[in-house]
Amino acid sequence: MVKQVAIIGGGIIGATAAFYLSYLQGNENVQVTLFDDDHGQATKAASGIISPWLSKRRNKRWYALAKRGAELYSDLVKAAQLSDKAYQQTGTIVTRKNHEDLLSLYHDAQIKQQQTPAMGHVELLDADAVQKKMPLLTNPPEGIFVSGGARIDGADFVKELLEHAEANNVQVKHERVSVLPNGDVRSSEGTQTFDHVIVATGAWMHETLAPLGLNVKVRPQKGQLIDLTVAMPSKWRNMPVMMPESMSDIIPFNGGKLVIGATHENDEGFDLTPKPAARNQLFENAKAFISTLSESQITDMRVGTRAYTGDFAPFFGALPDLSSFLVGGGLGSSGLTTGPIIGYFLAQAVLGNHSDDWSRYTKPVSSYIG
């Protein structure tokens, strides 16, 4: 018997879950419908860096999840045949303002690298060596190069995953749906009962689950980034991305696109209006390393809404009193790294292949939804 599955939310969790439900063993036993209204989605507004290994965060569950997420990418990229526009392993340069802090970080990186093949190789670089790897920089810092790091464009990533999913057993409907108190889903076509429902609506999960009498403990955070067009000779192709300490990430894409961002604004609610102050701050952060930039090179400003939990940790699993509902959210600024592995876990659970110990990666869902 074919099971009916709904995915509410087409961001990085929902899109990855949809792909794996169309790809993994047992996919012939499910018919999947993904609903997404395209409004405010953090993933589609984001470009980012996959390189969690040298993070300052000390949450062990978060690190285990992010590490597993980074490891998933090589298989996911091959399985979904993702293009270089969506994802490319370019290497990451991580900086510290204090030289002794950088040396300490390099020591930690060497230890982690021995047990983490996905990191690739690790190099300590002086400023000249950084500039050789990133020739667009005019004021390069010293840093640590991690060859396993990668860049990702959220919009292209989701688009390509869903294209592959739609070619199999997934229907994508661009609309907002509502959950009824009995767990049914109401769409423009009426009310339907699903065998499984995956809810991945980010900061809007409050609204999605409220009819079930549930309170979701997440808050919205506004994130803004800017795109610039810069001259990039062909010999500059596949430049690394850079994560400067306490500054905006610098993410070059082949073809002359340079992404700077993103902001972390807690007092803006669900406002998606681009703000000049954020634009100026992002541009100044970029100019600190690329003094030749001019504001005329800014071509776009993207805005999305992230979801954060009180302990800044993602969560996922089944609702305690409604096991047919699976949820994933609270990704915060690590969504591009942690989202796909959560989508993978949820897809496996729907297919009856749940073999991982999720407590290694997340607190119980009841810690965030009550």
Task: Indicate the Cα dihedral angle 53, 85, 202, 348, nearest 10°.
Answer: -70
Q: In what order do the strands lie in the sheet with 241-243?
A: 122-125, 143-146, 92-94, 241-243, 249-253, 257-261, 218-229, 298-309
> How high is the pLDDT of residue 97?
95
Output Rg (C-alpha) for the chain, integer angstroms. 20
> How high is the pLDDT of residue 149?
98
Contact 214/319 with Cβ under 8 angstroms?
yes
Q: How far is it, in rounded angstroms, from Cα 235 to Cα 287?
A: 22
- Give the 3-state secondary structure of residue 147: coil
Q: Which residues of 192-206 are buried (b: 16+ CB within 10 A; e: fewer)?
A: eebebbbbbbbbbbb
Q: What is the number of other CB atoms lying within 10 angstroms of the CB of residue 295?
A: 11
Closest CA to 165 of 157, 153, 177: 157
- Sign of the dihedral through C-alpha 294, 295, 298, 301: positive
| CATH class of the domain defined by 89-149+219-307 | alpha beta
Full 3-state SS string of 262-310: CCCECCCCCCCCCCHHHHHHHHHHHHCCCCCCCHHHEEEEEEEEEEEEC
Closest CA to 258 of 360, 180, 336, 151: 151
**The pair of three-digit structure tokens given for residue 215, joined into one six-digit string:** 């309170």
> How high is the pLDDT of residue 128?
98
Q: Give the start-to-end residue ranges of the domains of the chain.
A: 3-44+155-218+311-367, 89-149+219-307
| CATH class of the domain defined by 3-44+155-218+311-367 | alpha beta
> How high is the pLDDT of residue 44?
86
Which tens digits make up the pLDDT trace of 276-315? 999 999 999 999 999 999 999 999 999 999 999 999 999 9
Q: How far is it, in rounded angstroms, from Cα 75 to Cα 248?
A: 29
> What pTM was computed for the model?
0.96
> How high is the pLDDT of residue 39?
81
Task: Indicate the Cα dihedral angle 71, 73, 76, 78, nearest 10°.
Answer: -110
Tell me which H or E stretch contains 226: strand 218-229
Q: How far is it, in rounded angstroms, from Cα 159 to Cα 165?
A: 10
pLDDT lower than 50: segments of the chain: none
Contact 90/151 with Cβ under 8 angstroms?
yes
